């Protein structure tokens, strides 16, 4: 019961099961990035699990990848030497922000976050607002509800619904 979707929205601790991102959504994200003429980018996957998005995008783009997850067991199973995998709790704001700021580049608009629900919206806001003070970036969001004030001021590049699930690509410009 503690790994339920409902509890993932209430509790402030890691308590959700691993849910892989459907390949259909990765395909839509790939098409969107190609349409934006993005072939090379820095990708940070928050709550990366087994890094399925990175493994997919690595076949179609030139990426630099950092995956962040609290679950060390998933990270130790990924065998890709050019992937940077970090085991931290994203709620540790100082460590999270340092990792992001060290990895993203000010010289490009091709900094991309990837995250998939279940994810704490307040945590997303903190991470994105801090990052937005220094960098422009895109966020590929799977099953994240965009119906709130936080996303209203951002440019939604694509939003696609499929079978009660959704994927969005949102542009955040630096302040």
* Beta strand pairing call for 137-142 and 155-162: unpaired
CA 128 to chain centre: 10
What is the tens place of the pLDDT at every residue in 132-151? 999 999 999 998 888 878 88
pTM here?
0.85
pLDDT of residue 2: 44
Mean pLDDT of 114-126: 86
């Amino acid at each position: 019961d503690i790994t339920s979707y409902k509890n993932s929205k209430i509790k402030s601790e890691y308590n959700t099961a691993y849910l892989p991102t459907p390949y259909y959504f990765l395909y839509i994200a790939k098409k969107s990035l190609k349409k934006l003429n993005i072939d090379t980018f820095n990708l940070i996957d928050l709550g990366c699990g087994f890094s399925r998005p990175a493994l997919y995008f690595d076949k179609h783009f030139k990426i630099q990848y950092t995956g962040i997850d609290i679950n060390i067991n998933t990270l130790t199973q990924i065998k890709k030497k050019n992937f940077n995998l970090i085991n931290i709790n994203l709620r540790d704001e100082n460590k999270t922000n340092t990792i992001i700021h060290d990895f993203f580049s000010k010289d490009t608009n091709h900094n991309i976050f990837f995250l998939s629900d279940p994810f704490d919206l307040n945590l997303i806001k903190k991470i994105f607002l801090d990052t937005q003070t220094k960098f422009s970036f895109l966020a590929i969001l799977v099953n994240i509800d965009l119906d709130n004030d936080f996303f209203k001021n951002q440019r939604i590049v694509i939003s696609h619904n499929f079978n009660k699930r959704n994927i969005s690509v949102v542009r955040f410009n630096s302040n």
